[in-house]
Amino acid sequence: MSFIASGNTDIYNSVYSSTLHKLKSSDAYRHFLEFSRSAGYFPLADYRNDKIEVWCSNDYLGMGQDARVIDTFKTSLNRYGVGSGGSRNISGNTLAHVRLERKLAELYQRESALIFNNGYLANTESLGVLTTLFDDVKVFSDALNHRSIIEGIKKSKVDKYIFKHNDLTDLESALAREPHERPKIIVFESIYSMDGDIAPLEGIVRLAKKYNALTFIDETHSFGVLGAHGLGLAEALNVADIDFIQGGFGKAIGTTGGFLVGNRDAVDCIRSLAPGFIFTTSLPPALLDATLTSIEIMTEDQARRESLFNNVSQLKKTLRRHRINFIDAESHIVPVIIPGLTRIKKVAEQLLNEFKIYVQPINYPSVPRGQERFRVTVTPDHSPEQIERFASALKISLDLS
């Protein structure tokens, strides 16, 4: 059986073609490298019948390759099958979902937790609901917040103020202009993934208390990485007075999904009103069991986090020795700025083709034009020899570009 489009499709095809032409003639068109992760060999991957080293993975702790996590996935898969069977309110609310939510609430010492299919939805749907619950609410959002936060705020067309990145003076000035009784939500990230810098969390919480505002923090890039138990920046700084904490499983936990923890009634409002939660098939229970195992290991394994930051320190020292400029931020993310789309693509191709090293160029709209970069992520599984080899290869590729 074949399906043939009816009518004159030229008017539609011309739009597709012109749109793609505009993207390809600028730096906005995205190219995707096809390769396969190789279980047991991280940070190596399979690419064109060969092995390459991955230097831009979000699997910060290598937990996606952990044998205990994989074994849990297999066992649970045999028990539950592949899928969940439906949305959370129609046959998809399994024991695995409930167990994981209880564990997250317990870890964060909050009343309730809610799992989403990814971190993007956790932000857009949570903020999309929260901004509709309060009359005349105003949102104060950091200028470098992730697109998911931006889209969540846009959903309700709420009054908002975009404060300068990590600028407490600008934030306080904006808060002070509003009546004390007006509902306010301050939204920010713990670690900003493009620069690797960290939010002034204690100062933001202080301002929230002073000006009667709720706080919503995205801990996606710090969950698993910072804190005595890997719970993020808030734990690392021992700051408990945060109303909503969002995080994801697709980074240091090594699986996929997102979550929100907070006040029981507030989380229940989101559960009851967020369309991206209500009308979505829930995550497979086997995946959530694997996620729970990964979290349980992560919370007890401080040594793995220490190994991560030892490697981060070693990478920075090696880059300095090779006189390679990078943003020396406080987090585990090491951005190497290589201005110019043509140049950074050439460097990336040289690294891949000549040295079998994969690092993805980051360009507009993820970062401003002229600030193209590699977002380098070393893991506990990268060896000292691999770190030295990466820096040396990068230096050679930069000199040739």
Catalytic residues: 251
Q: CB of 374 within 8 A of CB of 336? A: yes
Taking the CA atoms of 265, 267, 268 and 273 in sequence, report the sign of the dihedral they define.
positive
Lay out the sheet containing 361-362: strands in order across: 333-337, 373-377, 361-362
User: Which of 294, 232, 251 lies closest to 71 in space, CA to CA?
Assistant: 294
Half-sphere exposure of 303 (CA within 13 A, CB side): 2
Cα–Cα distance measured from residue 284 to residue 96, given in angstroms and rounded to the nearest whole number: 9
Within the chain, what is the greatest distance between any pair of CA atoms?
Answer: 67
Helix, strand, coil percentages, rounded to 5, for the chain:
45, 15, 40
Burial of 164 (0-12, 13-18, 19+ CB in 10 A): middle
User: Which of 219, 266, 395 lies closest to 323 in space, CA to CA?
Assistant: 395
DSSP state of 117: S
User: Which of 297, 401, 263 lies closest to 345 in space, CA to CA?
Assistant: 401
